[in-house]
Amino acid sequence: MGSRGVIGDKWSMRVLWACAIGSAIGLYMVAVDRQMKNRERMLAESLKAESDGVGDQV
């Protein structure tokens, strides 16, 4: 009877796994977002450098 108001081990493990999976998904989404921003920045820098280089040659 002492365990009646306490969350059981099965549910605590489920909550723990849900938190772990949620954290992993959040970290994955942040990593994808940063990768996209870095790719866009590198593309913009390369296009700028290319246009600057073409202007110097002319």
Does an H or E element contain 39, and which? helix 9-57
Print pLDDT tens along the chain (58 aa).
455 556 678 888 999 999 999 999 999 999 999 999 999 999 999 999 888 876 555 4
Tokens of 21: 């999976």
pLDDT for res 1: 46
Tokens of 38: 């870095």
C-alpha 12/C-alpha 14 separation (Å) is 5
Q: What is the pTM of this model?
A: 0.62
* Residue 12 dihedral angles phi and psi, to the nearest 5°: -65, -35
